[in-house]
Structure 1
Amino acid sequence: MTSVVRLVRTTDRPSRLTLGRTGEELASEHLRGQGLTVLSRNWRCREGELDVIATDGERLIVCEVKTRSGRRFGAPEEAVTGDKQARIRRLAGRWLATYRVAWCPVRFDVIAIDCPPGAEPRVRHIAGAF
């Protein structure tokens, strides 16, 4: 994680793309640290994208990652609206169909990451967020 932390500890604000990728890397490292297996990152289909898909061996865990460099637009997790949650649920169904998973329990998590310029990133994992 050292290289990722080094990237976000600069005093300049990273671009949205860089910030998003950094957040997804931090989220993946966090999940692995919790003993989860990351199955996929940035899985895409026509309807959209799932940030991180993981498993704890018993269930599928679909993670929406939100990263912010400041609080100007609120806390990262506040961006996961009801509409966004519905889209993520639909995409998870599409993922299950694509990989022909007949049935498995699914949990939807939010990983909120604050990356203020010049400071250590802060990761908050909200398991079962919706």
Structure 2
Amino acid sequence: MTRQSIGKQGEAKAKSYLLEKGYSILNENFRTKLGEIDIVIADKDSIVFVEVKSRRTGKYGLPREAITSYKQSKIRKVALLYIKKYKLEKRKVRFDVVEIFLDETLGDEFWKVNHIINAF
């Protein structure tokens, strides 16, 4: 399984997880010249920007550790563009991370999901 396919499968797993938890998906893979936001959801009166990180092993650390302060800054800037585009200035905003762990020893079907609310 390639790194890119792990990422795409991880995003699909995160989307399923968020839907199961009752969140409404507003947008997926919102792209601008500045960058991309993986998933945008609605949670009551808040708009939530979700970064999804998937890993096969812990060899390179936890998935959330890949979201550096630089990456967080880029996500915030893209989120601001999203808010302006959809005129959501009056809504509360939050940034979540969904970590996806694939345990290859148990086969491609075994995934663990960790949802970090208000991650940054």
After TM superposition, is the score higher than 0.5? Answer: yes
Correspondence list, 1:1-130, <5 A: 14-119=1-106, 120-130=110-120
Q: For 2:67 and 2:96, how far apart are their aligned partners in 1?
A: 10
Higher relative contact order (CA 8 A, sep 6+): 1
Q: For 2:16 and 2:69, how far apart are their aligned partners in 1?
A: 27
Q: Equivalent pairs: percent with the same residue?
A: 34
Residue by residue, what CA displacement relative to the aligned partner does 1:8-64 show, whole Å, maximum 9, x if unpaired? xxxxxx111110111101111111111100111111011110001000231101000
* Higher strand proportion (structure 1 or 2): 2
- Aligned-pair RMSD on alpha carbons? 1.0
SS in 2 for 1:23: helix
Match for 1:60: what amino acid?
A: I
Cα distance, 1:101 vs structure 2 = 2.0
Moved over 4 A (4+): none
TM-score between the two structures when normalised by the length of structure 1: 0.86
Q: For 1:75 and 1:67, how far apart are their aligned partners in 2?
A: 9
SS in 2 for 1:91: helix
* Gap runs ≥5 in structure 2: none
